Structure 1
């Protein structure tokens, strides 16, 4: 049985460009979801841990996406109040906790997608959707924040790290097969 932390490390999580806050959120996520993941693995011993992780991450991503969608209007109104009260520079320092959690789960989800060999176009489409949700208001969907592109790049970096880890894993398996 594979533990969640080990599985994420095998996918290259340590190579992601993460702030200390991001690392804390990831550690919290891993700690809180390890029992659930182990339970899922016990219930489905016939399935590969990576497949089960993809299912878990997809479920968590969808849940956070729905939560974000329902809270988005209130968040943008709150952000507008901050901008009008303390100015745009200071308002940008206020972070919506759900957006940080949504970003982290999205990074992990795309890492797992890459390792699962999910199609690039789907991953890129999801990264763009996530950025639109996090960085645009409903009134200005066309004018995304410049930080949105940086996030999209981070999300796709996670996808490619996962993809690279699975390719290395395949090469290792092939080497082991030919040497045995």
Structure 2
């Protein structure tokens, strides 16, 4: 019986009054990593659905309001005239929809690869390029001193770029953190 050790259950830090560091055995380490991986998968799925929904709603808003700024309808402050519309608004809308299409492709790389029969997934563009492309509309609106509703409407695409970049970076950081945690496993004999 001396060769067998008694396994003690893990005590949370608020239960741990003696202040000693707890050493996890191999099974406990695997359990912690599996639980973190499960939480990561749930969070990643939720973020993915949220981002896809946000991109879809934004694209629908841009398609349905191709010539008219919907913020001027919601917040009428200036009479609707040519002084409230951005010159070349159709071109800026096409650019915005192109950015939305790019994100749809970025979020479904395997589907695009198999549908277009590509040898590998499409390589993502740097976010700096997307920021520059999507920021042209709001900058022109600011330079022309158009109403805040027009500037806010054209700022929607750079905001979408920021949200997608933040979500993708957070997912990558979490995945990297779990991988680093797996690489730091240790063998604790007698823990």
Q: TM-score range by the shorter chain?
A: 0.3 to 0.5
Does 1 or 2 have the higher relative contact order (CA < 8 Å, sep 6+)?
2
Report which of the two has the higher share of helix: 1
TM-score by length of 2: 0.35
Larger Rg over CA atoms: 2
